[in-house]
Structure 1
Amino acid sequence: MIISGDDPVSKGAQRFEVFTGSGKRREWPPEVKASIVAECYSGREGVSAVARRHGLDPSQVYAWRRDLRKQLEAAGVVLPTTEPEAPSFVPAIVEVAPAVEPVPTVRRSKKRRRSKASAVELEIDGVAVKISRGADAGVIAAVIEALKATR
């Protein structure tokens, strides 16, 4: 069997719970179930977020909601339907911005100024040699050889 690298098995355990007790199922007292269901109806979070926070599957919370609704209807209590609030629009006011005069841009010449600085500076045994741009390669080599010879 080949297991791809994108399945939960190859990723390893990300979260697990250790259940202590005789059975594998958790027993939830009716008060706790009611409080979890009430959190779902508060409107601050969805059912999935509430279920995740309590370590439950959302389908379990939906089943608890359905059971509670059936119990209340059997007792004669009619629950109000929770209709989603209709979307409303906010009026938009569009104002024309005053015309702004463009700021003149300063154009710089495309010619670059060449700096007077040396292209290469060498220091050998305390003697500094500055070689400017455009110097002859033969002259540069002769100067370096002369400095090496004086060491």
Structure 2
Amino acid sequence: MSRLEPTLELEHQVRRIEVITGAGGRRRWTVDDKARIVEETLEPGASVSMVARRHGLTPQQVFAWRREARQRSDEAGPRFIPAIVEAASTPRQRRQQAAPMVLIELEIGGVRMRIGDGAKASIVSAVIRALKATS
């Protein structure tokens, strides 16, 4: 009996067949989907590999999306973010403060930065970029 003829021997029977259904080829991810997945990786304690696996991606793909998002945000320049406005102090309370009046206070990645009167915009943006790069 040749190997090409069908046999009933157990060692030659097909035991499992996988059927793949659905559209083949590359998946197209919208910008919103990519942003949502990248945002998941930025959560405290998140693992890029776990997030990638959950969405059926490779970690390399998610790292590439993170790199693209960082480049886009660097190119976009300064953006507006929600601000927390505290009640203004009275003139007497301001005189009692030893520190100079702070105009802007930023917190990025747990690091707080205060920007006082007369700070150059180029220095402020350089410090913000450096803080963002470390977070």
Q: Which interval holds the TM-score relative to the shorter structure? A: 0.3 to 0.5
Which structure: larger Rg? 1
TM-score when normalising by structure 1: 0.40
TM-score when normalising by structure 2: 0.44
Higher relative contact order (CA 8 A, sep 6+): 2
